[in-house]
Amino acid sequence: MSPRINDRMRKKAAVLPLASLVGGNISDDSKTKKVEVHRSNAGCPSGEVKLFDFQPAGATQSCCREVPPKCLREGERWEPINMPGQSRTDTENWQDCQRRCLKVTGCSHFSYWQDGGCHLQDSSATMVVAPAYVTSGPPTCEMQVCAGCAFSSGNSCQRCAGGFIWRDGQCTACTSSGGWLSVDGRSCMQLAASDCSDEKVRGQSSNEACCQCGGGVVTPTPFSYPNSRWSLDSNIVMKPEPRTALRYTVDSKCELAAHNLTMDSSTGEISYMSGRSKPVEAFSFECEITAHQATGVSLASVVTVAADVLSYSSATLLFHGDGQEELPLTTGSGWSKFETWLAARQTAIAAEKNQAFKNQLYSAVELIELVSWLSIVASTGTLRRLVSEFIV
């Protein structure tokens, strides 16, 4: 359905970007709510991604902070001073204390004293004032804490998703050797972590073959970019979700530079080059971004970067409730130029011709009326879901 409508729209007016549409109706009532476009961070604050944890008892959702608001804090610590099962250890510096926290499951914070005292706290701890020589912070200042995580609380992952194990302070995708068996015939899946050893069976020990023993084969963690669309003068910012690596590369055919865009090789973030002007012509292109997670462990994802004079926030808009609407991206020079051009035409031609011209500009989107549950407000470009005929 959507591709057919999109093709007809483009034939009518190429200036209007299009979106696939899913959902139902909207009324003409002015008291409408903006539709929620489903993305991985929908319902979570900025800088956080939504996680889904599917368990036999049901699914739970949580928000995972990809960017700690402030990594290190001086003169603050966490209370209670030690999380269950942990006590003070002595480390040479706060970095070693942070690395200790990174290796302990459930550790959300560390507090380091100048005399070498290192204490770990979980997500239930609260921050309190401390002497200036106390340094505290999260288990990592990098932004990979959400990769492979199913449930997050505080500043740490509490449970890894299926196929991931907790290793080196993060959820790591790992596959155990399928054909390996211990001396007593147990596979890696049947082996408890306490039973791991260096005893070799057919040339391989459990410490080499099994993920829970520190072995196995590490595989790349999947990631993607949001399916966003932009107006020409929007400040384009696209980040991998979740962040899975400390190094990213882009394929040689990518047209980022041709449109004054660039990618941060350490974060994978796509944005405009500093000091460069934004394009004035509509564009759409694809790039293959590769996340290099470790030596020999990498994965590529294709991102579409698109901007137009007028655009909607995503290539796919999901309508899922009465009284909802999706507004076009109209802020900035792209839209204001369009409005100015239309205003100039209004001055130059008769009112009836002006109205016909205006109708022509919106005719592409008005074809959406072929979908019985959707309409458009011609004066604003707002898509509305009709209340009267909801189609499942």
Domain for residue 58, yes or no? no
Q: Which of 32-36, 244-248, 307-311 has the lowest mean pLDDT?
A: 32-36
In this structure, what CATH number is given to the domain that contains residue 130? 3.50.4.10
Domain for residue 222, yes or no? no
- Relative to beta strand 126-129, strand 316-318 is unpaired
Domain for residue 292, yes or no? yes
CA distances from 259 to 38, 298, 307, 356 (A): 27, 27, 10, 34
Domain for residue 159, yes or no? no
Question: How many structural domains does the chain have?
Answer: 4
Read off the pLDDT of residues 279-325 as tens digits, 9 standing for 90 and up.
988 899 999 999 998 778 899 999 999 988 777 777 777 777 666 78
Of 85, 116, 137, the residue that ends a domain is 137
Domain for residue 147, yes or no? no
Domain for residue 351, yes or no? yes
At residue 142 the predicted structure's pLDDT band, cuts being 50, 70 and 90, is: low
Do residue 190 and residue 240 come from a single domain? no
Do residue 209 and residue 248 come from a single domain? no
pLDDT score for 265: 87
Q: Which residues of 309-344 are buried (b: 16+ CB within 10 A; e: fewer)?
A: bbbbbbbebbbeebebbbebbbeeebbeebeeeeee
d(CA 333, CA 280): 9
Encoded tokens for 19: 């979106």
Q: Which of 40-54, 120-134, 253-267 has the lowest mean pLDDT?
A: 40-54
Q: Model-level pTM?
A: 0.60
**pLDDT mean over 223-244:** 88
Do the beta carbons of residue 212 and residue 193 sit within 8 Å?
yes
**pLDDT mean over 51-79:** 78
Encoded tokens for 53: 């944890």
Of 120, 137, 154, the residue that ends a domain is 137
CB neighbours (10 Å) of residue 54?
Answer: 11
Do residue 237 and residue 297 come from a single domain? yes
Identify the residue with better confidence: 108 or 351.
108
Asked whether the predicted pLDDT for residue 19 surpasses 80, the reply is: no
Encoded tokens for 204: 């391989």
Of 174, 93, 196, 98, nearest to 142 by C-alpha is 98
Q: With DSSP H G I counted as helix, E B as strand and the rest as coil, what are the percentages for the chain, rounded to 5? A: 20, 35, 50
At residue 106 the predicted structure's pLDDT band, cuts being 50, 70 and 90, is: confident
Domain for residue 153, yes or no? no
Q: Which domain holds residue 29?
A: 2-40+321-385
Of 308, 339, 369, the residue that ends a domain is 308
Of 154, 178, 151, 176, nearest to 163 by C-alpha is 176
pLDDT score for 372: 67
DSSP string, 320-361: -STTEEE--B--SHHHHHHHHHHHHHHHHS-HHHHHHHHHHH
Do residue 204 and residue 238 come from a single domain? no
Do residue 243 and residue 304 come from a single domain? yes
Do residue 253 and residue 296 come from a single domain? yes
In this structure, what CATH number is given to the domain that contains residue 300? 2.60.40
Do residue 206 and residue 248 come from a single domain? no
Highest-scoring range by mean pLDDT, 82-86, 161-165, 348-352, 377-381: 82-86
Domain for residue 166, yes or no? no
